[in-house]
């Protein structure tokens, strides 16, 4: 559920929400990190986070995120296999790829389908409006 466009949120409420989100991230990450330590690995990956969410009782979220992670990785691979579409600089050669190929997969429009979805999910702007 999104807030109406004219909603006002108290500073204390925003700070409280930020603290809750930080605590939630720490809670999940701790569990994932523990799994990595048991397996003698140093890097926490997406599967570790999903495992932690499931083991901590957030399986409803982890199932949706498994799909998202899979589609995210598919998109990354597809974008890596695309040839660069432009060049920086005036010479037109030898420079890094243009901004189109440098955009992060989650940054917006290039990955958004014509029906307003990204990775199969409707995209919201946080104000209750869909993109």
Q: Locate 115 and state its tokens.
A: 């029906």
Q: Is the pLDDT of residue 131 over 80?
A: no
Residue 35 and residue 50 in contact, taking contact as beta carbons nearer than 8 Å: no
- Compute the mean pLDDT over every residue in the chain, rounded to the nearest whole number: 76
Q: Per-residue pLDDT tens for 63-117?
A: 889 999 999 999 999 898 877 766 555 444 444 444 444 444 444 444 444 444 4
Burial 65-75 (b: 16+ CB within 10 A, else e): beebbebbeeb
**9-82 adopts what CATH topology?**
Histone, subunit A (1.10.20)
Element (H, E) at 121: strand 121-122
Question: So what's the pLDDT on residue 39?
Answer: 95
| Domain residue limits, the chain | 9-82, 100-131
Nearest of 86, 63, 77 to residue 111 by alpha carbon: 77
The verdict on pTM exceeding 0.85 is no
């Amino acid at each position: 559920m999104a807030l109406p466009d004219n909603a006002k949120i108290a500073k204390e409420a925003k700070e409280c929400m930020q603290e809750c989100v930080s605590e939630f991230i720490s809670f999940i990450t701790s569990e994932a990190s523990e799994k990595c330590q048991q397996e003698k690995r140093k890097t926490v990956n997406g599967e570790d986070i999903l495992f932690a969410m499931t083991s901590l009782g957030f399986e409803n979220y982890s199932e949706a995120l498994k799909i998202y992670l899979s589609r995210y990785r598919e998109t990354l691979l597809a974008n890596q296999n695309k040839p660069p579409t432009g060049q920086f600089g005036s010479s037109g050669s030898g420079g890094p790829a243009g901004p189109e190929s440098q955009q992060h997969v989650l940054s917006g429009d290039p990955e958004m389908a014509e029906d307003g979805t990204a990775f199969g999910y409707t995209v919201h702007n946080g104000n209750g409006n869909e993109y």
